[in-house]
Amino acid sequence: MEFIHQNLYWIVPLALALGFLAAAFIWKRLPPPEVSSPGQEIPPPEQPDAETVPAVPAPAAPPALPPSPATEPEPSAPEREEPATPDYDGGLKRTRGIFARLRSILAGQPAIGPSTWDDLEELLITADIGVKTTEALISQVRAKKPKDPDAVRQELRVAILKILETVEHADPVQTGLKPRVVMIAGVNGVGKTTTIGKIAHHYRKAGLSLMLGAADTFRAAAVDQLDVWCQRTGAEIVRGRENADPSGVAYESVEQAKKRGMDVLIVDTAGRLHTATNLMEELKKVKRVIGKAMEGAPHEVWLVVDGTTGQNAISQVREFHQALALTGLIVTKLDGTSKGGALISIVNEFRLPVRYIGVGERLADLTPFDPGRFVSEIFREGE
């Protein structure tokens, strides 16, 4: 007892320390505390990122991308809410409005004469068909010598369809190439990012494996948006650092798509540069570099144009076609315009296929362009 009293100064701290260690030992062996509370989900364990983002260029250590989903991935909740088909009807309602006026304009004419052609010309120009194509259409209709308003309308319909059918519009998806490389161009704001998401959705629904090369490295927000589309559609993405060399990203995406045996690679490109470099020169370079990574690529070069901008869209087609030798177009926002006629003059002037049209903002609102259907929609009566 005396010994304890004399040595209290070290026995007490030792006992406390031993007690603390024992408590810590027991605590570690207890089960973890429940963190959920009513209405609050327990977060799942952290998963590795679905898309590996390689630093571009990274030829020495190519990133390990996740395996390609063999089947259509389970759609995310918002996608499940989306209808599967585009709203073609609603989408072309406004353009239809212009052509619906045709009947009332013609009905007011006592006989077919010079004023008929003046009124028709005005109507077609209002629908943004453009002077050149309007003149071509009117001369074709006049040549048929229609006797009454119904015949004028019918001949106009035939003449428009004839223009649109001079070109094979269908997207030649299955060509046995792995990957089939589609380069997409378009100035900012035309709906390029949304359209790429819609195409990804369309191709994935067709059971094709798809990779996206996000070579518009100047718009971080647009790249993030593409990332989201990829997650939603089960496509893969190769993206570079912000402001990275677009050609480097394009090259790397072709390499990755080849390595991964992708059916399709879509390469997004810049619509505006933040440097002094000329946009067309930069895009030509991207195209050349894609060709270096894979002989014969890109197999398609599509320009996205905004259907509401009418004759502006025509000058964009001219400029991009000159630089890139386009193989197709996608005309967006046809739901938001009464000027869907620009599409007719684009086909008339450039003889370029319209691969797809955009008729709304949802993923499903993209549809292959079908001239017969387009013409019947815009000439449909009663609405």
Residues lying near ligand GDP in the complex (CB under 6 A) are found at: 186, 188-194, 222, 271, 332-333, 335-336, 358-361, 365
Beta-carbon count within 10 A of 64 CB = 9
- Min dist CB 186 to ligand GDP, Å, is 6
- Min dist CB 84 to ligand GDP, Å, is 17
Q: Measured between alpha carbons, how far is 269 from 324 in angstroms, rounded to an integer?
A: 12
Closest CA to 177 of 212, 209, 214: 209
- Min dist CB 166 to ligand GDP, Å, is 25
- Min dist CB 336 to ligand GDP, Å, is 4
117: helix, coil or strand?
helix
Q: Which is nearer to ligand GDP, 240 or 360 (CB)?
A: 360
- Min dist CB 297 to ligand GDP, Å, is 23
Q: Which is nearer to ligand GDP, 153 or 333 (CB)?
A: 333
Q: Which is nearer to ligand GDP, 149 or 307 (CB)?
A: 307
Q: Which is nearer to ligand GDP, 332 or 345 (CB)?
A: 332
Q: Measured between alpha carbons, how far is 181 from 352 in angstroms, rounded to an integer?
A: 19
- Min dist CB 188 to ligand GDP, Å, is 4
Cα–Cα distances in angstroms (integers) from residue 261 to residues 93, 210, 214, 238, 323, in the given order: 42, 10, 18, 14, 30
Cα–Cα distances in angstroms (integers) from residue 132 to residues 101, 305, 329, 346, in the given order: 21, 20, 20, 11
Residues 344/161, Cβ–Cβ less than 8 Å: no
DSSP for residue 109: -
- Min dist CB 83 to ligand GDP, Å, is 15
Q: Measured between alpha carbons, how far is 364 from 361 in angstroms, rounded to an integer?
A: 8
- Min dist CB 230 to ligand GDP, Å, is 15
In which element (H, E) is residue 329 found? strand 328-332
Q: Which is nearer to ligand GDP, 4 or 221 (CB)?
A: 221
Q: Measured between alpha carbons, how far is 57 from 63 in angstroms, rounded to an integer?
A: 11
- Min dist CB 134 to ligand GDP, Å, is 25
* Gyration radius from the chain CA atoms: 30
User: What angle in degrees, to the nearest 10, is found between the helix axes of 149-164 and 131-143?
Assistant: 120
Tokens 């991935």, located at residue? 73
User: What values do phi and psi take at 238, rounded to 5?
Assistant: -115, 120
